[in-house]
Structure 1
Amino acid sequence: MTTVSLFGDARFPLGPFTPYEHNPILRPKGDSWESANLYNPAALVVDDQVVLLYRAHAEDIVSHIGLAVSDDGVHFEREDAPILSPEHDYERFGCEDPRIAFIEGTYYLTYTGWDRRSAQLCLATSTDLRTWTKHGPLFADFDTFRTMDPRGFNWSKAGVIVPRRLDGKWWMYFGEGAIYWATSDDLVHWTPGTPDTEPMYSPTPGSFDEALVEIGTSPVVTDTGLLLMLTNGARRITKEDGTHGVDYRCGQIVIDPAQPTKVLARLQDPWLRPQTFEDTHGLVSNVTFVEGLVKFRGRWFAYYGQSDTTLAVAIADPEQPYGTGLRADA
């Protein structure tokens, strides 16, 4: 089995992305484990096919992770049974929100273990995408909301592993609320680089990510050598009934591998925001939430969840980068 790395030539900002006209590309189905909601996928290219590892659940809202395969990036065939399901107390109410890296013949899947109190970043490994060894929660006594809205107990989500060493170590960027970093010698045991009082990146007041920031996709290398990651951010909104909430929009950040603890730049405006009916109506409304990114047959495919209910894709053609209109008018 040949797996294509998530590294590839890119520009910052990546895009522009256009939502696929026939979204959603995957919906809940039947009366099985994925009958109620299906969303938030990891993505990679294997043997010239796009593979999605997606989150889904029935009415019980206990999430499992399923697998779907596509020859064109938009039409997917899914397997009947989930590939990862809750087994342990720390995940008894869900294996949620996967991200994936392929390194030296092994798949490293980060996901959230949910026990309806604590959301903890967990790790599982596999050599075939179907048989997994779980390594449990990665960080004890760590709260990625510590500097904003402290949970008071373990809370860590959203980990992406850089699939090659930086300064002799493996690196991970993680966090919901704010973003942190961790390193490892073996890709299994991870140590945060700072305490949870010292995030490397926090929300920007008055912006589309003013309420929280969260790592979205695994990194790619830009044409200038920087690491680029798609991110998720939430802004505060007032609902029609007068109550307050948030909506989730997608951003981008870049990091210099020579300064891997510092965000050099961020996209000032979201490249994706809730617009369609599916984006604005669902289990958690007003959400476009990206977790999967691949370069496939010359184009970028960004896979995202719509209101925690359906799964969609936005596509970017490198031949039509940002600023095309300005150059055409010059």
Structure 2
Amino acid sequence: MNPFELRFQKLSNPVLSPSKEGFDSKNTYNPAVIKHRGTFVMLYRAEAKGEKITGRIGLALSGDGINFVRHPEPVMEPEYGWEKVGVEDPRVVRVGKTYYMTYTGYDGRVARLCIATSKNLLSWKKHGVVFEEFPFEKNGKPNWTKSGAILTEKMESGPFRGHYIMYFGDSNVWLAYSKDLIHWEYEPEPVLTPRGYLVEPGPAPLVLEEGILLIHNEAFWMGGDLIYTVQAALFDREDPRKLLWRTERPLLEPEFEWEKKGWVDNVVFAEAMVEHGGKMYLYYGGSDRYVGLAVSKRI
């Protein structure tokens, strides 16, 4: 299947919803999902009723990718000044025997891209903010880098040969490159710009015959409402800065009531895609409150 034929079918109900009480009693959304020894491991953003913390990271397990059992405590919490209000929106990849998580550290003013590593998906070592300084401003605030999606294989040729690459940012998407997945440098010009309000990376990019596929999130103003959709873009395999193609219609858009009404209305926001049984499982946040699942044929 090529990326021009991507079609996802949503499940009509969320696969994860807020608990009655505890650290994830208000919102559960925007998850990373990865398979570990045949088990789906979900790391999701969690918020508690009555708190101002905008994110802890919870963990849930599943054998089928649909029915999840939660770990009773968060596996990551805010600790440092640059994340004192929240650790948010994880994306997780495995390279070798190490898991790499990109996540948002929010201090109440600026959302910064951060990285943590783990061997077991339970205990995480934080490596801090990826870019201490970044010239682009969002809403008048510099150093706003927010999120990143890492390609798990090194570039074999082209200007970034021997490096890993990452698509990062929100409002625009930029390209960063690294030899060790911890220390990154960035290209100064965006590689993907919004056709509406903003664009932001989704799950880890995939290398296909046709190019590098980046499923991403894109928001538009429609009839006075801000609508978040899931889209796709294809970049050149030799030069991952070069955009070849992007979807004209969303892969996903808000349809169900739980996607249209929640903590933030009219949101579908994808961050994880897993292959299972010859199909692709795309996990997304619905209205910043629930976790949804859409399924496609194998890419």
TM-score, length-scaled by structure 1: 0.85
Cα distance change of structure 1 residues 15 and 35 upon mapping to structure 2, 3 Å threshold:
same
Q: CA deviation at 1:304?
A: 0.4
Match of 2:2 among 4, 7, 11: 11
1:192 equivalent to 2:181? Answer no
**Which residue does the alignment assign to 1:52?**
42
| Structure 1: runs of 5+ lacking an equivalent | 1-9, 205-209, 239-243, 322-330
Matching of residue 176 in structure 1 with residue 156 in structure 2: no
Aligned counterparts of 1:143 and 1:280: Cα–Cα separation in 2: 34
Query: Aligned with 2:142: secondary structure?
Result: coil
1:230 maps to which of 207, 212, 215: 215
SS across alignment from 1:83: coil
What is the 5 A alignment of 1:161-172? 161-166=150-155, 167-172=161-166
Contact 1:45 1:296 in 2 (8 A): no
1:69 maps to which of 61, 64, 73: 61
Correspondence for 1:207:
none
TM superposition shift of 1:14: 5.5
Structure 2 partner of 1:116: 108
Whose Rg is larger? 1
Structure 2 letter corresponding to 1:265: W
Per-residue deviation, 1:143: 5.1
For 1:290 and 1:316, how far apart are their aligned partners in 2?
14
What does 1:1-330 align with in structure 2 at a 5 Å threshold?
11-13=2-4, 15-21=6-12, 23-59=13-49, 60-62=51-53, 63-142=55-134, 144=136, 146=137, 150-166=139-155, 167-194=161-188, 198-204=189-195, 210-222=196-208, 224-238=209-223, 244-318=224-298
Tell me the alpha carbon deviations over residues 298-328 of structure 1, each in whole angstroms, 9 at most, x when there is no partner: 111000001101111001134xx9xxxxxxx
Q: Does the aligned pair in 2 maintain the 1:143–1:152 contact within 8 Å?
A: no
Distance (Å, rounded) in 2 between the aligned partners of 1:247 and 1:108 = 30
Is the Cα contact below 8 Å between 2:282 and 2:293 reproduced in 1? Answer: yes
Q: Secondary structure at the match of 1:250?
A: strand
- Mapped to 2, the partners of 1:202 and 1:279 lie a distance apart of 25
Query: How far apart are residue 234 of structure 1 and its match?
Result: 0.3
User: Residue by residue, what CA displacement relative to the aligned partner does 1:21-53 show, whole Å, maximum 9, x if unpaired?
Assistant: 3x2111000321000000001111111122111
Distance in 2 between the 1:317 and 1:58 partners?
A: 36
Assess, with a 3 A threshold, how the Cα gap between structure 1 residues 274 and 189 changes in structure 2: closer, same or farther.
Answer: same
Deviation at 1:64, TM superposition (A): 0.6
SS in 1 for 2:141: coil
Partner SS, residue 177 of structure 1: coil
Structure 2: any 5+ residue segments left out of the alignment? 156-160
Give the match for residue 158 of structure 2. Answer: none
Runs of 4+ in structure 1 deviating by more than 4 angstroms, as ranges, are none
Which secondary structure state, in structure 2, belongs to the residue aligned with residue 176 of structure 1? coil
Specify the SS of the correspondent of 2:109: coil
CA contact (8 A) 2:110 2:141 kept: no
Distance 1:66 1:123, change over 3 A: same
Partner of 1:327: none
- The DSSP-based 3-state class of the residue aligned with 1:72 is coil
- The farther-off stretch of 104-113 and 224-233 is 224-233
Cα distance in 1, alignment partners of residues 5 and 216 from structure 2: 12
Aligned to 1:7: none
Displacement of 1:226: 1.7
Q: Which amino acid aligns with 2:286?
A: Q
Q: How many residues align?
A: 292
Structure 1's 132 and 14: CA in aligned 2 closer, same or farther, altered over 3 A? farther
Question: In 1, distance between residues paired with 2:181 and 2:207?
Answer: 20
RMSD of the TM alignment (CA)?
1.5
Q: Distance in 1 between matches of 2:149 and 2:134?
A: 17
More strand by share: 2
Cα contact 2:112–2:147 (8 A) shared by 1: no
Corresponding residue for 1:3? none
Identity across matched positions, percent: 37
SS of aligned partner of 1:68: strand
- Counterpart Cα distance in 1 of 2:28 and 2:236: 35
